[in-house]
Amino acid sequence: MGVFKNVVLATDFSEASAAAVELAIAIVRQDGAAFTVVHVCELPVLPETVPPVDLIKAITDADELRLDALLAAVRHRCPEARRVLRMGAAWEEILAAAAAAEGDLIVLGTHGRRGLVHAMLGSVAERVV
């Protein structure tokens, strides 16, 4: 058994996440670790309203399909990989999923935003750390 026992990969299906997928798979295979792939559905923030149920369902259904496709690709190299789909603030839900999986390593990509965009949107990776 290697250094890590439970690796949690957080993905937003971006190009940065694709690189994180490859790194996570390499670690899982090297260490013989359990592997959990997590995606968090973030609903659009509408001032003083709750998103309509049909919008929530459309977002979660699309994310379910993307997560299933990613997991199918991952399972060619890591057959025991599990998936978790959560809804909420990405950084909070990633940490909650990692705690539930008893993760001892979280792997995620970062978009590398700078300046005003970074100040406005923040960084999920920074908050997870």
pTM for this predicted structure? 0.84
Q: What are phi and psi of 83, to 5 degrees?
A: -125, 150
pLDDT digits (tens, 9 = 90+) for 14-51: 888 899 999 999 999 999 999 999 999 987 666 667 66
pLDDT digits (tens, 9 = 90+) for 55-93: 888 889 999 999 999 999 999 999 999 999 999 889 999
The pLDDT assigned to 1 comes to 66
**pLDDT at residue 111 tops 70:** no
Q: Which residue has the higher pLDDT, 115 or 108?
A: 108
